Amino acid sequence: MGLGPDLEIETLTTALGGLDLFPNHMFLALNVSPDILLDQRFSPLLEGVDARRLVLELTEHTAVDDYRPLMTALRPLRDRGARLAIDDVGAGYANMQHILSLRPDILKIDASLTNNIHVCPSRAALLAGLVQFARTFDTRIVAEGIEVAPQLDRLRELAVDYGQGYLLGRPLLLKRAR
């Protein structure tokens, strides 16, 4: 129906409105599509926001044909302290070209790669290589989809920086104090 960009802008506006609910030392991660990063409505949303408290998670749902406009759009935000994450590495369009072209601060490893990593040597080897690559560029690794303790143990052995998943905590609803 063509409402995707409008819905994404509305979602980002709502999420940014909740930033003040977080303590100052915490950040807000925003899933953003490449198209929205280039949308004229996006940059004004971040005016007056402490960009150091933002992580822009580039979603995997859209291919990027030309990285130059994307890098140009991201440069002022990153200069203000916003961090860039490539979301769902290993799925969709979150490919190595995203990583090589955009030099993200964070790689979020898709659950399809972390699932059963404690019993799958090939997944562990692939992730070990990504961790080594990330260290070269001072990039952090976040493992998604952590659901069982042996999986978490294996990810720790592989020196993954951070994790998210039901084992670590369920999503919570933010509520404003009355």
pLDDT in tens, 136-164: 999 999 999 999 999 999 999 999 999 99
pLDDT at 95: 75
CB contact set of 45 (below 8 Å; sequence gap of 6+): 9, 12, 13, 16
pLDDT in tens, 41-65: 999 999 999 999 999 999 877 778 8
112, 147, 155 from 142: Cα distances, Å: 13, 14, 10
- For the entire predicted model, the pTM comes to 0.91
Q: Strand 83-89 and strand 28-32: pairing?
A: unpaired
pLDDT in tens, 107-134: 999 999 999 999 999 999 999 999 999 9
Which among 116, 105, 99, 107 has a CA at the least distance from the CA of 155? 116
pLDDT at 61: 73
pLDDT in tens, 81-91: 999 999 989 87
